[in-house]
């Protein structure tokens, strides 16, 4: 049985479209520089935190409770935290790094002076997720590291 050229062409087009659609559904592996700039332009630091510029900022894409989020962890530069394996500097954003999906953000013991700040941004809505740690006031940026 001989296949018509138009039928073969149709199958090829469908295969290319299906492959492109599959690629589009694959979640990105790192936070984009534009998203980092968005977060840093909108974040309001907790009351007892130092200014944002005093922190090294690490960003990681992850799925949390079924929602795609950017997990940001800001670590006081004076602590000298080691940059995690695989982390890359964000172009034109000094002190900011992206960590590949599945990687690890720095783990730092917070001494109660807000040495670590955590933020979560919903990727779809582009809004911060409010969190609360211990008895601190809930907010879009909180001192410490939530257990999730």
| CA–CA gap between residue 148 and residue 131 (Å, rounded) | 11
Choice among 2-11, 31-40, 64-73, 78-87 with the minimum mean pLDDT: 2-11
Residues 6+ positions from 14 with CB-CB distance below 8 Å: none
What is the tens place of the pLDDT at every residue in 102-116?
Answer: 999 988 876 678 899
- Strand, coil or helix: 101: coil
More confident residue, 11 or 142: 142
**Residue 24 has what pLDDT?**
52
What is the tens place of the pLDDT at every residue in 10-57?
Answer: 333 333 333 443 445 566 788 999 999 999 999 999 988 999 999 999
Rounded mean pLDDT of 79-94?
89
pTM of the predicted protein model: 0.78
Task: Measure Cα distances from 34 to 41, 56, 127, 141 in Å.
Answer: 10, 17, 14, 19
């Amino acid at each position: 049985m001989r296949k018509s050229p138009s039928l073969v062409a149709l199958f090829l087009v469908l295969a290319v479209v299906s492959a492109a659609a599959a690629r589009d559904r694959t979640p990105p592996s790192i936070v984009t520089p534009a998203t980092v700039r968005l977060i840093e332009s909108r974040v309001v630091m907790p009351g007892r935190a130092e200014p944002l510029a005093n922190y090294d900022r690490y960003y990681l894409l992850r799925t949390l409770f079924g929602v795609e989020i950017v997990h940001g962890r800001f670590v006081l530069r004076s602590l000298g935290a080691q940059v995690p394996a695989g982390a890359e500097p964000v172009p034109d954003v000094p002190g900011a790094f992206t960590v590949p999906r599945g990687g690890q953000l720095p783990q730092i013991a917070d001494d109660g002076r807000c040495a670590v700040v955590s933020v979560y941004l919903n990727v779809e809505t582009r809004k911060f997720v409010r969190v609360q740690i211990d008895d601190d006031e809930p907010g879009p940026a909180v001192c410490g590291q939530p257990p999730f």
